[in-house]
Structure 1
Amino acid sequence: MFNFFSKNPCTAPVQPDFPRHRVGQACAVFLVLAAAAPISHAQETTNQALSEVVISASRAEQRRFDAPGAIDAVQVDPFRTASPLVNLSELMGGVAGLQIRDRQNFAQDLQLSVRGFGTRSTFGVRGVRILIDGIPATMPDGQGQAATASLMSAKRIELLRGPLAQLYGNAAGGVLQVFTKDPPVTPGKPDYSLSAGAGSDGQRHVAAGIAGGSETLGGLLDVSRYSTDGFRDHSAARREQLNAKVVAKPSADTTLTGIVNLFNQPLAEDPLGLTHAQFNQNPRQVIANALAFNTRKTIEQNQAGLVVEHKLSASDTLNARVYGGTRKVDQKLAFQANGVVNLDRTYGGVGASWTHAMQVNQLPVRWTVGVEADQLRETRKGFDNIAGNNGALRRNEDDTARNTDVFGQIDWTFTPDWQAIAGVRASRVRFGVDDRFNPAASSTSGSVQYRNTSPVVGLVWHAADTLNVYANLGTGFETPTLAESAYRPGGAPGPNFALKPSKSTQGEIGVKLRSGLHSFDAALFEARSKDEIVSSQSSGGRAIFQNADRTTRRGLEASWSANWAGGLDTRLAYTLLDARFKSPYAGAQGLVPVGNRLPGAPRHSLFADVQASITDSVRAGLEMRLESKTYVNDLNSDAAPGYAVFNARLSREFRFNGAKMLLYGRIDNLFDKTYAGSLIVNDTNARFFEAAPGRRLFVGVRSMF
């Protein structure tokens, strides 16, 4: 397969990209501290530099350096990562343009936003599309779940930002993809792995895996269990996962990949947010209503999928997927009337794409066309919350969401140094609500349909073997989710189908430079949105949404990494984000004036990491993460103060009799800084703040044999 985006794809050999991410490497001074912060990446082996392969931008494998857009690839080595590998925030914290916050609240999932898209989310993920091994973890309505990705068997995580993300559909800000490693080709000799760890706040984690096979059939299976008493009062959680992957190659031209993911979270207490005064008084406390109503959530999700890749000819490749699953959620909110949400969901979908590669004037042209269709059906019930137990039934409805998308994309290298990219995606999304609690009230049932066509164009100049310059422009859209449409302002029954989808126009200009030991990426971006979906009211775990007229997001992303002699690695990632309301709108808490900043989006974010190798087997690292002041509501009447947090890690690897073992330790928040790790934007009761943990230790051991 030729290197499609190389400077001269007809004659130039493929040059390996410098590894952006390597295993944390250590310094003896941290031997007692033994620690690591949520490391933003897990690296390749130290004795072999692997090219950073990505597929998100062009739907075909290529070097990240050659991808015509802002994209990061985090290479994952689960064995050498000095972290328990429970949350994506452990691996992705150092990616420019990405805000990924661990709420320390397993009832609400991670808080994830890209270039300011997704900051409104009070639970789950909005504005960012998530795929795991090609299977959507974002539902047809646009709500995604980051928790279901199994990191114990991951090999790579990609984040695509900017206009090119629009080619993936209902995802305004970006596309996050997690790829599971392939089974090893070891006939008759499977690989086994065991992992265990424990830490502050009652953290406990155990995992086990097996993988093996031949060139025609292989598989892997990993299981894990994590539990914690929680940093805050009333924040205990327990999570269990199983991830299985089977790869079959019945012929040289066909690859079948089967995936099974089981996720069970039987306990996730919700401590809710704190007011600024409560946060300053005692960040570990919980409000009285959380205890009175025993706020918590249980989740059970099971999913299976099949991905097929078949080479029709030397120039044509067919990809197809089919998947299905179930998801059950029971959530107790902090009030009595209709204070229990019970969801029973089935979902699934199919997709197919055809890629054709050819040459024009001895230069490559590649085009892809495809279609995708996904749907979910759920029964939504609401009960009164009587001291944490189900009371009288107050809501009973059947909800549906469907999307049908067709897309096309072409990449054309029209001179040896210049490449053009163009694509378009036509989307149709339909929601339906059938009220079974009060079927005679026609206003509480109904349907709504959204249509959008998203074109994208781009240009790449391969100025040198070490320098690429690109520019992209495109439009996209983001629908409200079923959960965001569930409640009308003022408490009237029935869905809020008056919510409009948000539509955006985005542009970016970027540069990628590789020189010797150094790697540098930078991008200027701007996004203008109409009908921005904002959280106008949020209380006790329930949120009501409305549209704001116009917003803008503009800024700069820059990242630099260097691999020095002697096993020393350094990295920096900086994001400047200016996200504002460009027209006034009347919110539930007052008139929001022009120029106010979007809540949840800090203006400055900086990540720095120094990693050192003491010996061939001892590695350590020191990490710093900085964020500026962040407003908590559209009125900008309150804000979370800025902070800088330092973290450290240490690991040592042992080898004996064909087996290997890793001992590691990490300290998060080395200097015990008090800060808000995440925010509940526009909370009606001014309980905006979710406290991050103070200094805490985690130690663990992994073995492979």
Structure 2
Amino acid sequence: MFSCALAHGAEGQDTASVSRTGHSRTKAAPVERRSKIERITVSGTSRVPAPLRPAGQTTFSSDRSDYANQVAQSVADMVVTIPGVSFTQGNGPRDVVVSVRGSGDRQSYGLKNLQVLEDGFPMTQPDGTARADLIDPHAYAGVDVFEGPASTVYGNYAMNGAINFRTRKGADIHGVELGSDFGSFGLFNAYATLGYGNRRYDLMIFGSDVWGKGFIANSRYNTSTENMRLRVNLTDTDRLVLKVVNNQTAAYLPVRLSLNQYLTNPYQQGCYNAASAAAGCASVSLFKNGQYGAKEAVSPEAAGLGRFDRRTIVGLRWEHDFDRRTTWRNQFTYDQRHVDQPTSAISFVGPYNSYAVSSDVTNHVLIGQTPLETFGGISFDYLDYGYQTYNIMPLGGATRGAMTTASYGHQWNLGARFQEDWHFAPKWHVVVGLGGTYSDIGATETLYGYSATATTRQDVTANRFFFNLAPEGALIYTPSKDWTFHTRVGTAYGTPSSSNLFITPQGQYGNNTQIKSQSSVGVDLGADWRPHDTVRIQATGFYEFYNNELVSQSAGVNTVGSYTFNAPASQHRGVVLGVDWRPLPKTLSGARIKLSYTYDNQIYTNYTEVLSNSTLSRAFSRDGNAIPGVIPNFLNARFLYDQPDGPAEGLGAYAEVTWRDSYWLDNANQLKAPGYALLNLEVHYDPPARFGWAHRVHWYFEVQNVANQVYIAGATNISDKLLSNGQQAGASTLMDSTGSIYAGSPRAYFGGVRFRL
């Protein structure tokens, strides 16, 4: 059964959202106050396709009310209140590394080991790459996070689950909204939203342009985003959904620091002239002639390092009801990611074009008096790419020198999935499913070498095929309206990408034929408890067994570089907890406390790492070591108050505390990134309807990092080192390893206004 809200005749299929226990629930009221809106509650069998509401899987959601009353600069503001989700700073102001149960904690950019969707359209390309740059939170109604291994339904790379972003519906907007955010470090975001809808159609168009100077040297940026969603009911049984997303990012980038550099000069001030730079400055070493020979140390700002990327996605979905019990969906998505990234001494340039098609059927029947939902689908996606890398010259403006590599390749995935959800008793239902993917990855890489006497060229070809299966099973028990229990066994897989295939275990260029797909099996046990209308507590414990995780390490002395191989085994275990409590419903009905907490303990159980120096190599067991980059404890607590009536009606505020534990940066567990706790304050005002035209204006003001704490917003893993005596380097040596740390923002002030026409 499900509940859906109908606003201005919008169909229930669009307005149903996903609950945190895998069941549909009534959509939360929009943040903006509305008048004269009729809302009708309808009960019936859900027509929402199975992948958008995976029963039995641990699922948490964030709605617009959690982030629309603040500056909401990036996806981090959308997910900070979701248990099981953490984030770090990537390469650019909106390139947030979102992690579900540690999925992306070892990455320097994007969303890894996850499948990302928007309104049901894929935002992850066939090679497993998704980025958060194209997300401006102002355009979204909410986000749902499906946690745990999920390849049964979501296919390749859903190692830690999936995320579905939901844009706002035109019927909820019902007009035009204009807004702007402004504040510290030159931030200014101008945005507009248009939305209209009725029973026949629903249209949302959003556009924003944001720019800022940044708080670290060489971190100014300008990002524009357009987002459109159109749903048209062609007949009573046929619907079309058109989706368009376009994003252009121009972000200048500092270089990541060592821990010592961060402690000395976290915001990289006084670093423009490398020869006379202040202490703690980072630099890049560039060939003076762009090819070979002498090098010159140049600051990121003088070199012009940055990211200048474009992403365009167009999707079309046709939904057809054969009858009231059976829905057929057919979907096509085109996705182009064009990168221009002089982010280090090398500039990376090229397009990634992908195409995804899928077809699935959802059917509802009764077996006796018990409902059975059957879902089955097939999918195919294809990626072709061609990129080049160039040396950067010390001339400013990221001037390109000689080409160093050129790579052209493809990856395609052919998948099928099947799932049964049977309510075999009034308080019980069981879910079983099976998914599989066949993957083909092929590429050719050309490497160029330069000297005073010759130019060399070497061609390397790699081609691999993978086939993976992912079964799952779940059991849900609802003994009363106050309790829901769920347990699930899920599985997942992730194939290597083409970049993993070009260096062999012998440390030479060639086809890395030994590498396997990574895989996982996870067990969840959770409960949802509502002892009172004012309290909701959700908790899930998880234990996941990973095999063949993809890691890189030295191949030995005098080799061309590190190679990618499979760490045989590791274990991920933890607890996620969410609390939503209105402590004084009679005396302070507008008071609310929201708490989300994640405990994530990940260790290697079978992994031997090889370290090398210029003369020797040694192997070290990492069994029992914590996996670096994984944040073991992450807590967000919000204390909110919104005045529901009286002279101050519409006035609200919150205080927020975010605590992140310290975490290891290296496999040997020698060096940690220190933890931190931040305090943020916010106040907002939505004038009540009795104020006439003023009711259409919303404003807010907030202070972030009230204590002006210096903290690490993002730190990538660093490699352990082998000293000349054959021993591993200690923390004092690793503190000088560069390329890891970005500092977080100092105290910042922001304000904003939104006006509805």
Match of residue 50, structure 2, among 54, 59, 74: 59
Query: Which AA in structure 2 matches 1:635?
Result: A
Distance 1:351 1:658, change over 3 A: farther
Render the CA deviation track for 1:413-462: whole Å, top value 9, x for unaligned.
Answer: 11111110011101112211134678x98961121112100000111111
Equivalent residue number for residue 24 of structure 1: none
Q: Radius of gyration: which is bigger?
A: 2
User: Pairwise CA RMSD of aligned residues?
Assistant: 3.2
Equivalent residue number for residue 429 of structure 1: 439
Match of residue 288, structure 1, among 270, 274, 283: 283
Distance 1:342 1:690, change over 3 A: same
Equivalent residue number for residue 255 of structure 2: 272
Match of residue 332, structure 1, among 329, 332, 342: 342
Query: Which AA in structure 2 matches 1:576?
Result: Y
Q: How many residues matched?
A: 656
Please say if residues 555 and 578 of structure 1, whose CA atoms lie closer than 8 Å, have aligned partners that are also in contact.
Answer: yes
Alignment of 1:651-690 (within 5 A): 651-654=684-687, 656-657=692-693, 660-682=696-718, 685-690=737-742
Residue 215 of structure 1 deviates from its aligned partner by 2.7
Distance 1:505 1:199, change over 3 A: same
**Identity within the alignment, %:** 20
1:518 to 2:532 alignment: no
Equivalent residue number for residue 29 of structure 1: none
Render the CA deviation track for 1:270-310: whole Å, top value 9, x for unaligned.
Answer: 21211111111121015122345432111011111111221
CA–CA separation in structure 2 for the residues paired with 1:128 and 1:83: 27
1:153 to 2:139 alignment: yes
* Corresponding residue SS for 2:354: strand
Equivalent residue number for residue 276 of structure 2: none
1:358 to 2:365 alignment: yes
CA–CA separation in structure 2 for the residues paired with 1:454 and 1:600: 27
When normalised by structure 2's length, the TM-score is: 0.81
Query: Which AA in structure 2 matches 1:612?
Result: Y
Equivalent residue number for residue 601 of structure 1: 630
CA–CA separation in structure 2 for the residues paired with 1:252 and 1:126: 39
CA–CA separation in structure 2 for the residues paired with 1:543 and 1:228: 37
* Corresponding residue SS for 1:90: helix
Residue 379 of structure 1 deviates from its aligned partner by 0.8
Please say if residues 126 and 354 of structure 2, whose CA atoms lie closer than 8 Å, have aligned partners that are also in contact.
Answer: no
Alignment of 1:190-589 (within 5 A): 191-265=175-249, 267-285=250-268, 286-289=281-284, 290-291=300-301, 293-335=303-345, 339-387=346-394, 388-435=398-445, 444-485=460-501, 492-493=508-509, 498-516=514-532, 517-536=534-553, 545-564=564-583, 565=585, 566-588=589-611
Give the stretch that moved more between structures: 108-117 or 153-162. 108-117
CA–CA separation in structure 2 for the residues paired with 1:621 and 1:325: 39
CA–CA separation in structure 2 for the residues paired with 1:207 and 1:546: 45
* Corresponding residue SS for 1:312: strand
Give the stretch that moved more between structures: 163-172 or 197-206. 163-172
Distance 1:260 1:177, change over 3 A: same
1:637 to 2:670 alignment: yes
* Corresponding residue SS for 1:152: helix
Return the structure number with greater relative CO, CA threshold 8 A, min gap 6.
1
Please say if residues 111 and 123 of structure 1, whose CA atoms lie closer than 8 Å, have aligned partners that are also in contact.
Answer: yes
Residue 484 of structure 1 deviates from its aligned partner by 4.9
Alignment of 1:41-80 (within 5 A): 44=31, 59=50, 67-76=55-64
Query: Which AA in structure 2 matches 1:453?
Result: L
Please say if residues 93 and 99 of structure 1, whose CA atoms lie closer than 8 Å, have aligned partners that are also in contact.
Answer: yes
Residue 92 of structure 1 deviates from its aligned partner by 0.6
CA–CA separation in structure 1 for the residues paired with 2:349 and 2:511: 16
* Corresponding residue SS for 1:251: coil
CA–CA separation in structure 2 for the residues paired with 1:616 and 1:681: 49
Query: Which AA in structure 2 matches 1:182?
Result: K
Please say if residues 19 and 50 of structure 1, whose CA atoms lie closer than 8 Å, have aligned partners that are also in contact.
Answer: no
CA–CA separation in structure 2 for the residues paired with 1:18 and 1:174: 15
Please say if residues 206 and 226 of structure 1, whose CA atoms lie closer than 8 Å, have aligned partners that are also in contact.
Answer: yes
CA–CA separation in structure 1 for the residues paired with 2:442 and 2:649: 59
Equivalent residue number for residue 8 of structure 1: none
Give the stretch that moved more between structures: 658-667 or 401-410. 658-667
Residue 147 of structure 1 deviates from its aligned partner by 2.0
Query: Which AA in structure 2 matches 1:400?
Result: H
Distance 1:658 1:229, change over 3 A: closer
Render the CA deviation track for 1:204-236: whole Å, top value 9, x for unaligned.
Answer: 111012222443234221110111211211111
Residue 257 of structure 1 deviates from its aligned partner by 0.8
When normalised by structure 1's length, the TM-score is: 0.86
Equivalent residue number for residue 613 of structure 1: 642
Equivalent residue number for residue 143 of structure 1: 129
Query: Which AA in structure 1 matches 2:118?
Result: I
Render the CA deviation track for 1:491-514: whole Å, top value 9, x for unaligned.
Answer: 855675654321111111011111
CA–CA separation in structure 1 for the residues paired with 2:486 and 2:712: 37
CA–CA separation in structure 2 for the residues paired with 1:242 and 1:548: 41
Please say if residues 509 and 524 of structure 1, whose CA atoms lie closer than 8 Å, have aligned partners that are also in contact.
Answer: yes
Distance 1:56 1:279, change over 3 A: farther
Residue 156 of structure 1 deviates from its aligned partner by 2.1
Query: Which AA in structure 2 matches 1:243?
Result: N
Residue 583 of structure 1 deviates from its aligned partner by 1.6
* Corresponding residue SS for 1:444: strand
Residue 163 of structure 1 deviates from its aligned partner by 3.8
Please say if residues 434 and 470 of structure 2, whose CA atoms lie closer than 8 Å, have aligned partners that are also in contact.
Answer: yes
* Corresponding residue SS for 1:201: helix
CA–CA separation in structure 2 for the residues paired with 1:157 and 1:352: 24
1:85 to 2:72 alignment: yes
Instruction: Give 5+ residue unaligned stretches, structure 2.
Output: 5-15, 21-27, 269-280, 285-299, 449-455, 555-560, 613-618, 721-736
Query: Which AA in structure 2 matches 1:467?
Result: W
Please say if residues 253 and 306 of structure 2, whose CA atoms lie closer than 8 Å, have aligned partners that are also in contact.
Answer: yes
Query: Which AA in structure 2 matches 1:559?
Result: G
Residue 57 of structure 1 deviates from its aligned partner by 11
CA–CA separation in structure 1 for the residues paired with 2:46 and 2:183: 36
Distance 1:569 1:490, change over 3 A: farther
1:627 to 2:660 alignment: yes
Please say if residues 163 and 456 of structure 1, whose CA atoms lie closer than 8 Å, have aligned partners that are also in contact.
Answer: no
Render the CA deviation track for 1:304-359: whole Å, top value 9, x for unaligned.
Answer: 11112211101101112111132210111422xxx121121211111111011011
Residue 386 of structure 1 deviates from its aligned partner by 1.3
Distance 1:250 1:19, change over 3 A: closer
